[in-house]
Amino acid sequence: MPDRREFIRNLLFGGIGAFAAICSNCQFASSQIQRKNSSTPLVEIPQRWWKPLPNNRLQCFICPSNCVLSDGQVCGCNTRLNVNGRLMTMAYGNPCIISVDPIEKLPLHHFLPGSQTLSIATAGCNLRCLYCQNWQQSQVRPDQLRNYNLPPAEAVKKAKEHGIQVIAYTYTEPVVFWEYAMDISERAKSEGLKNVVATALFMNREPIREWCKVTDAFAVALKGFDDEFYRKVVGAPLKPVLDAIVTVKSEGVWLELVTLIVPTLNDNMKQIREMCLWIRRNLGTQVPLHFGRFVPEYKLRNLPRTPVQTLEQCRDIALDVGLQFVYLFNVSPHDANHTYCPKCKTAVIRRLGFKVTSNDLQRGICPKCKTRIPGIWQL
Amino acid sequence: MRRSWLFFSLGSVSQVCQVVLLRELLTLAEGTELTIAFVLGSWLTFVAFGSFAATKLLTRKGQRLDPALSYSVASALLAASVFFDLWLIRFSRTLFSLPPGEPLSVAQWLAVTIATLLPICFIVGAQFAFAASLANPSGVYIAESVGAVVAGALLSLLLLRWFDHSSLSSFFLALHLLLSSVLLWLHRPNARWVSAAISAVAGLSLVFAPLVEQKTQAVFWRSMFPAAEEVHSVASPYGSIAAIKFSDQLSVYQNGHLLFTLPDQGDMASLAHLILLQHPKPRRVLLIGGLGGWVQATLQHPKVVGVDWVELDPTIPQVVFSLLLSRERNLLSDPRLRRYTADGRSFISQARQTYDVVIVVAPDPTTAASNRFFTKEFFSEVLRVLRPGGVFALHGLREPPAGFGELYFARNHCVYATMFKAFCEVLVVPSSPLTLLGQCPANSSPPNELAKLTLDEQTLLQRAKERGLEGINLFAFTDPIQVERVNYELKTGLPFNPLEREQARVLRPKWLNSDINPTVYFLSSLLWLRMGSEKVARLLEFFVFLPRWSIWLLALLPFGFWLVGRIRSANWAAPATTIVVISGVGMLAELTVLLTFQARFGTLYLQVGLLFALFMLGLALGALVAERNEVSNSVRALALLSIATLTSTLVWLGLVFCFPQLPPAVVAILCGCFMVLFGCLVGAAFPLTVKAMRQSGIDESKAAGLTYAYDLVGGALGAFIFGAILLPLWGIPNLLFLCALLCFAAATICLAQAKLP
Ligand code: SF4
Ligand code: SF4
């Protein structure tokens, strides 16, 4: 007489059979949906950025994680992997986002205002921000998405074809497709185009210095000023980011900072003041700082967006500390979208969201009091 | 039989636990039909395990359990488990050290779901087996069903509005504990002290419930949003509503999920203006949903003489308005505003009034309930209430994130194509989420040039100026590049970006989105899953590519199941197969009745609760009738029951096609009748299967345990595979036809078995 055990056995066999059938067909289904996956190209990364270790292992030095990868292992940033003891990238020539955006979206307010960028991003990120706005791309590997085939030469050609002067590496984290971004940047630079980068800059100093050679502006996300917040919410320590920002500044590349204020997580006004003081001490008062409004996304989709009052308080603190160009981001219309002359307080560039509605600057000079406003205003 | 009624409380308590735990678990995850199906499916499976295990313990040789004592002790354990579960669910965010606002991951949610459901379901299943050995199994089955009916109706109609989850559970648990102690008293007079202890537990659970609720809620909100300045929470039939004050904002949460934050900084108000500016003279406006800036903006238009504002859950506006500033509160006293508490879709389908502008603020169609606002049936209902030249706006369709293109484009294109079939002109506004504007029935044209839909910023601003509306910011919705992009993408189902287009694979659903073929809902579920878990979604994508004919192969499954049983020389294989089929078909038929009803009358949980109750009533009636009537050959009776199920399914299928032409009252009555009918058929299967198993030589309590378990397996399969996956993909008509085939297979098997030696 069959008993419970037999019943479970029947169920199990039936279940395994069905599962096997589904899996075998699933291959067929997924190959239709994600045509490019099977052919995700792998490109070797120059040995300057990694070192081989015994037993086919290797160590990568691009970002402060300094990962040790064993043979076949994909790194935490989702794009680099160890293939037979050599460091390869899956991101090269393999972007998941190509779009045309206003440069204000990066945000860069002192760099060719009103211009358009050809924005490029691949899957992957070396951080894990719980509120990432592009998590569908940043938290997966390139082979998990449908990508374009866009070699560097093609990217530059497309930008020129569409009359775009600036190529932006943004949306996800350009550090993870840095080799690809570098190659596009070099070509773009040689053909008279500009390169701008929006990044969280969790990167080692040497590669940053290399990057600065071909990059015209950095919009760096300084996500907070508390190591615990960085470790818990961003997924990395704070110190390397601060060092990296100072490196960019010391290389003389145009730099703007953006801090997204997340309610209850990094909206402590004491820390905001400390951050502004650090900026004044290490980068000067002329570095534009953007306070961004958090909107519920990804893992923090049940936190309310940042109250405008909070953002205004942050801005007041930054101005009080002496920073000259402090903007609010993701809040529009708002007076803090405009650029003001630090001397006569005239609104020299007016914006509505990402749109420049008027630009009265004359070659970077305030039309009223003739003060020079720092930034890159012409090609 | 008389003693069987003591087990009435088992049905009630299990029903209450199911509802309470489902609602609690949904606070930790997104509540789509897939999560609900998982909870219900797991529930049935774990109950089946409990029943199996207890049957085994009761029938083993040697030391046998005392069923009365086991039943009573299990009741006490059940009470403890329910309170532990409530604490566990609310404490789980703290347990996983999640930062404020972060929901549980899929794995964490599954772990909590299994950890909470397993003990409770196991106990409920075991209690059924204990009960079946203390009284007539079919009597227990009937009493349990009646208990579930009563509890379901009470919850839906009364209790969920006024009582929190802890108080509700404690009330029913106390009743269950008291009846258990009475039972123990009757069966084991010498175990009086155990009875007394169990009664004491009942009293304690009642006394401590409010405290448990208060403390555990505090734990939950502290982990969710520690900076909240004020938390104001109220019970609602749709889930608990919490309004949280933080700085100058008010955020409203439903079941722990953020609904919206006020004030909305003008985004939605500007969009409302843009919609009203489409009409040259908007006088009467219908607004479905949409707190925030929508109402204010609508009332600012000078020509508007009446705004009918329909909200499903009256609690939300009440809570919001009680906490808002007086300026916003004054809105309610504007004589032009009329508020209705109703489901938006059923309000439109029953409206006598006509409107110049109809605005629907709907959630993204990721659930069957929200998909109802994106179907061809709904669009034709809207056209009925739209005056000539009137404007319809549907706000709520999400845009694709990059890299998820194909499925998203396919889904949004399907919505566009469905709307385009109904309206002569469709224009997409690049808002976030997207807004689709529609005008005039297809094959007609707008009355004049002035009345045509436009997203030209200057024209709209000029119109606003003429109406005395200053300072409106429409740029975000009228940026020509964005307008062109979203319209292109929805119209063609292809990316606007030429680079992306070159490499895009077109995935165009063949069907328009309809109530009975909810294509958009299925594609949305896939997307939702794909964002949560790539692997699970890929597994489901497999179904998208299955050829249509493959669905009919599923009708062979009962033969496979039966053959396996025969090979293992189980002469009860036929009744087991039949009860799996009838339960699965019953579950699916029940779902199709609910979906059909929901599509017509809305997500009114109260009526849906009543429908559930009708099903349970049918279950009890069917079981009672089958139990009372002696049959000489139960296997043959099961064959007849399968044929009856087949016929009912086909009749129901025919009616589904007629429903759009029938008056609402007739549809409602028919839905109710078929709920009872399907319940009866499933209910009758239980005693017949027990009898058939006994006739094949199994002792009574083992037969009852096995039957109960197979019944639940069928139900779980119906919920998981048919309800959650195949129903949205293949639509109601195909699946009902498949059900008829499955019943045919079961009838054939029973007849064949009856002939075999
Ligand atoms: S770039 Fe990637 S592989 Fe290299 S150290 Fe950073 S995380 Fe590791
Ligand atoms: S660094 Fe940027 S891309 Fe990476 S997770 Fe954080 S927000 Fe997302």
Domain membership of residue A60 (yes or no) is no
Amino acid letter for position B382: V
Which residue of B lies nearest to A10 if distances are taken between CA atoms? B564
Give the whole-angstrom CA distance, residue B294 versus residue B276: 11
Query: Tokens 């960019």 — which residue?
Result: A248
Give Dmax (Cα) for chain B: 92
Which residue has a Cα nearest atom 8 of ligand 1?
A67
3-class secondary structure per residue, A134-192: CHHHHCCCHHHCCCCCCCHHHHHHHHHHCCCCEEEECCCCHHHHHHHHHHHHHHHHHCC
Closest CA to B307 of B352, B265, B338: B338
Q: pLDDT tens digit string along B601-632?
A: 765 556 666 777 788 788 888 888 888 787 77
| Nearest-angstrom CA–CA distance, B236 and B160 | 7
Same domain, B578 and B459: no
Out of A53-62, B19-28, B88-97, B109-118, which region has the weakest mean confidence (pLDDT)?
Answer: B19-28
Measured in degrees and rounded to the nearest 5, phi and psi for residue B135 equal -145, 180
Q: Which of A79, A119, A125 has the most ligand 2 atoms within 8 A of CB, as the residue to mutate? A: A125
Residue B258 lies in a domain: no
Amino acid, res. B20:
V
| Nearest listed ligand to the Cα of residue A127 | 2
- What global pTM score does this model have? 0.74
How confident is the model at residue A5, as a pLDDT?
33
Asked, for residue A21, whether it belongs to a domain, the answer is no
- Pocket lining: A258 vs ligand 2, CB cutoff 6 Å: no
Does B448 lie in the same domain as B569? no
Output the residue whose Cα is nearest ligand 1's atom 6.
A63
CA A173 / ligand 2 centre spacing (Å)? 6
Task: Report the pLDDT value the prediction gives residue B528, as an integer from 0 to 100.
Answer: 65
Q: What is the CATH number of the domain that holds B468?
A: 3.40.50.150
Domain limit, last residue, from B503, B529, B563: B503
Q: Which domain holds residue A128?
A: 97-333
Give the E-state strand segments of chain A in sequence order: 43-44, 50-53, 57-60, 68-69, 80-83, 86-89, 97-102, 116-121, 166-169, 194-199, 217-221, 254-261, 289-293, 326-329, 339-340, 347-352, 355-359
Q: Which two tokens stand for residue B436?
A: 């689709």
**Cα Rg for chain B, rounded, in angstroms?**
28
What share of chain B has pLDDT > 90, as a percent?
Answer: 25
Burial of A236 (C-beta count, 10 Å sphere; 0-12/13-18/19+): buried
Q: Could you tell me if A240 and A62 are in contact, meaning their C-beta atoms sit under 8 angstroms apart?
A: no
The whole-angstrom separation of Cα A107 and Cα A276 is 18
Residue A56 lies in a domain: no
CATH number of the domain within which B18 lies:
1.20.1250
> Are residues B495 and B612 located together in one domain of the fold?
no
Query: Is the predicted ipTM greater than 0.85, yes or no?
Result: no
Residue A154 within any structural domain of the chain: yes
- What is the edge-to-edge ordering of all strands in the sheet holding A217-221? A97-102, A116-121, A166-169, A194-199, A217-221, A254-261, A289-293, A326-329
CA B459 to ligand 2 center in whole angstroms:
40
Beta-ladder partners of A217: A196, A254
Distance of CA A43 to the CA centre of its chain: 22
In this complex, the residue of A7, A304, A331 whose CB is nearest that of residue B251 is: A304
Q: Measured from the CB, is residue A173 less than 6 Å from ligand 2?
A: yes
- Closest to B340 in 3D by CA, of B310, B380, B383: B310
Strand partners, A57: A53
The answer to whether the CB of A279 falls within 8 A of the CB of A245 is no
| Contact (CB<8Å) A33/B541 | yes
Residue A172 CB–ligand 2 contact under 6 Å: yes
pLDDT in tens, B49-92: 888 888 878 877 666 678 888 999 999 999 999 999 999 999 99
Asked if A4 and B55 come within 8 Å (Cβ–Cβ), the reply is yes
**Residue B50 belongs to a domain:** yes
Q: Are residues B188 and B56 in the same domain?
A: yes
List pLDDT tens digits, range B257-281: 888 887 766 678 889 999 999 998 8
Best of B545, B561, B699 to substitute, by most chain A Cβ atoms within 10 angstroms, is B545
Among B447, B477, B503, identify where a domain stops.
B503
Per the model's pLDDT, the better-predicted residue between B680 and B731 turns out to be B680
Pocket of ligand 1 (CB under 6 A): A 60, 62-63, 65-67, 75-77, 80, 126
Determine whether the shortest distance from the Cβ of A199 to ligand 2 is under 6 A: no
Boundary of a domain, candidates B156, B186, B220: B220
Domain for residue B97, yes or no? yes
B100: chain A residues, CB-CB within 8 Å: 264-265, 300, 303
Strands (E), B486-623: none
Q: How many domains does chain B have?
A: 3
Structure-block tokens of residue B511: 């069907």
Q: Is residue B121 domain-shared with residue B185, that is, in the same domain?
A: yes
How far apart are alpha carbons B360 and B288 in whole angstroms? 5
* Partner residue opposite A353 with nearest CB, options B246, B476, B568: B476
Cβ contacts (< 8 Å) between B505 and chain A: which residues? 32-33, 35
Looking at the structure of chain A, the number of domains it has is 1
What tokens does B188 get? 């084991």
Q: Which residue has the higher pLDDT, A67 or B224?
A: A67
Mean pLDDT of B720-734: 75
The CATH number of the domain where A232 resides is what? 3.20.20.70
Tell whether ligand 2 has an atom less than 6 A from the beta carbon of residue A79: no
The average confidence (pLDDT) of chain B is 83
Half-sphere exposure of A117 (CA within 13 A, CB side): 28
For residue B561, which residues of chain A lie inside 8 Å, CB to CB?
A: 14
- Beta-carbon contacts of residue B393 (< 8 Å; ≥ 6 apart): B275, B278, B357, B358, B359, B360, B435, B436, B437, B438
- Which of the listed residues A126, A172, A176, A234 should we mutate to test ligand 1's pocket, taking the one with most ligand atoms within 8 A of CB? A126
Report whether pLDDT(A15) > 70. no
Residue keyed to tokens 């499954």: B557
**Residue B242: inside a domain:** no
At A102, is the secondary structure helix, strand, or coil?
strand
Which residues in chain B touch residue A145, judged by CB atoms under 8 angstroms apart? 403-404
Residues in chain B: 757
- Using the predicted structure, report yes or no on whether residue A8 has a pLDDT greater than 60: no
The Cα–Cα gap between A66 and A89 comes to: 15
Beta carbons of B9 and B144 less than 8 angstroms apart: no
Angle at B150 between CA B144 and CA B153, to 5 degrees: 135
- Mark yes or no for CB contact B248/A308 under 8 Å: yes
The DSSP call for residue B159 is I
**In angstroms, what is the C-alpha Rg of chain A?**
23
Q: Which of A8-17, A279-288, B420-429 has the highest mean pLDDT?
A: A279-288
In a domain, A241, yes or no: yes
Say yes or no for a CB contact (<8 Å) between A147 and B257: no
Whether B672 is in a domain gets the answer yes
Partner residue opposite B568 with nearest CB, options A2, A30, A140: A2
In the reported structure, the alpha carbon of residue A197 is separated from the centroid of ligand 2 by a whole-number distance in angstroms of 13
Contact B101 A300 (CB under 8 A): yes
Cα A262 from Cα A304, distance rounded (Å) = 9
pLDDT at B152: 82
Which residues in chain B touch residue A29, judged by CB atoms under 8 angstroms apart? 538, 541-542, 544-545
> What is the Cα–Cα distance from B674 to B668, expressed in whole angstroms?
10
Q: Is B80 a member of any domain? A: yes
Q: How many helices (H) and strands (E) does chain A have?
A: 9, 17
Claim to verify: residue B499 and residue B598 sit in the same structural domain: no
Residue B153 C-alpha, separation from nearest chain A C-alpha, in angstroms: 32
Summarize the confidence of residues B572-589 as an average pLDDT. Answer: 89
Question: A141 near A123, Cβ under 8 Å?
Answer: yes
CA–CA dist B749, B395 (Å, integer): 51
Where are the strands (E) in B263-419, listed by range? 284-288, 306-311, 337-341, 355-361, 386-397
Residue nearest ligand 1's atom 7 by CA: A77
| pLDDT bracket for residue B529 (50, 70, 90) | low
Cα–Cα distance, B33 to B37 (Å, whole number): 6
Q: Do B353 and B451 fall within a single domain?
A: yes
Structure tokens at B688: 């017949």
Asked whether residue B427 falls in the same domain as residue B560, the answer is no
Give the DSSP letter of residue A131. T
Domain that holds residue B148: 1-220
* Residue in A42, A63, A92, A211 to alter for ligand 1 test, most ligand atoms within 8 A of Cβ: A63
Backbone angles phi, psi at B39, to 5 degrees: -65, -45
DSSP assignment letter at A339: E
Query: What CA dihedral angle connects B491, B495, B499 and B503, to 10 degrees?
Result: -100
pLDDT digits (tens, 9 = 90+) for A320-362: 999 999 999 988 789 999 999 999 999 999 998 888 989 999 9
The Cα B433–Cα B442 span in angstroms is 25
> Are the CB atoms for B678 and B653 separated by under 8 Å?
no
Determine if the peptide bond prior to B663 is cis (ω within 30°).
Answer: no
Residue at A57 is within a domain: no
pLDDT digits (tens, 9 = 90+) for B408-453: 778 888 999 999 999 998 999 988 889 999 998 877 776 666 668 8
CB-count exposure of residue A72 (10 Å: 0-12, 13-18, 19+) = exposed
- pLDDT over 50 (residue A33): no
